[in-house]
Amino acid sequence: MIRWRAQTGLTLVEVLVTIVLLSVLLVPAIQALRTGVTGTGIHADVAAAHYRVTSRLEELLAEPFSELVDAAMAAGAPTVLSSYSDAAGPPGRMLVYLSLYDGDNADADGNPFTGVDPDLLWIRVDIEGSVHTLQTIRASGY
């Protein structure tokens, strides 16, 4: 009586099918990883820009109110850069806008930069050429 041995290895066809399947399935997996790695780099850049803007805003809020009002008066308008902005030239410079603010809209024109209250100051910080911006209102005595 001849005994048939159980198959103990893989056939060449099974090995080739496995290699083809792995080749086809690895392409999308590698592309997904590439997207994830690219995303982490973009997130790092966005986070760094956010921290730069936040840091500059915190520095401005630490300044005496009277000095900020003087800089806002020197700028003259909310669309004019203040003296707290970085010098022109380097890319990604910090732009600081200061203006007195009309918090109660006493003149009833709906414009927050006319009929201003002397104890309210509008502060906006931007990174030039980007969408990163923060703005706040500061009251005297704070």
- Residue-by-residue pLDDT tens, the chain, 142 positions: 556 666 667 788 888 999 999 989 998 888 888 888 888 888 999 999 999 999 999 999 999 999 999 999 999 899 999 999 999 887 889 999 999 998 888 888 888 888 878 899 999 999 999 999 999 999 987 6
65: exposed, middle or buried (C-beta count within 10 Å: 0-12, 13-18, 19+)?
middle
Q: Per the structure block, which two tokens stand in for 6?
A: 């159980």
* Whether the predicted model's global pTM rises above the 0.75 cut: no
pLDDT at 4: 61
Q: Compute the distance between CA of residue 60 and CA of residue 54 in angstroms, rounded to an integer.
A: 10
Instruction: Find the distance separating the first CA and the last CA of the chain, reported in whole Å.
Output: 101
**What is the helix (H) or strand (E) element at residue 67, kind and residue range?**
helix 65-75
Q: Compute the distance between CA of residue 51 and CA of residue 108 in angstroms, rounded to an integer.
A: 37
**What is the helix (H) or strand (E) element at residue 95, kind and residue range?**
strand 94-101
CA-based nearest residue to 98, from 68, 126, 56: 68
Q: Which residues pair with 126 in a beta bridge?
A: 95, 133
